[in-house]
Amino acid sequence: MAIGTKVIQTRLIPRSWNFAAITLFGLVFTADRSYVSDHVLRHELIHCQQQLEWLYLPFYLLYVGEWLWHLVRLRDRDKAYRAISFEREAYRHQYETAYLKHRRHYANYRRD
């Protein structure tokens, strides 16, 4: 698990952006902490772990690159977002309370 991960409530993230939280460089940001349920926090903690193992910059380059590839291929922003390997892993395991304890490195690219 990402040790010491903080959830920061900020006005810099408008509620109109249609997501409960976003993880940037190992920190979880939200417009309203009451929107961050256990499974949303677990989803974001999976992203913290992904960012840490990819050393942040490569994570963001891969993330944006995958999103652009899927956007061209699918021609739909939401479908492109859901097709990103990092998001697929986080959505697949966000309800598993012990997932981060047994998660394998680079699990977003593994076919377990």
Reported as a single tens digit per residue, the pLDDT across 63-88 is 999 999 999 999 999 999 999 999 99
Asked whether residue 109 is domain-assigned, the answer is no
pLDDT tens digit string along 17-35? 788 899 999 999 998 888 7
Contacts of range 93-102, beta carbons closer than 8 Å, 24 or more positions apart: 93/42, 93/46, 94/39, 94/40, 94/42, 94/43, 94/46, 95/39, 95/42, 96/42, 97/38, 97/42, 99/42, 99/46, 100/1, 100/2, 100/42, 100/45, 100/46, 100/49, 101/1
Asked whether residue 24 is domain-assigned, the answer is yes
- Say how many domains are in the chain: 1
The structure's pTM equals 0.90
The residue range of the domain holding 51 is: 7-100
Asked whether residue 112 is domain-assigned, the answer is no
Per-residue pLDDT, 112: 60
User: Is the pLDDT reported for residue 3 higher than 60?
Assistant: no
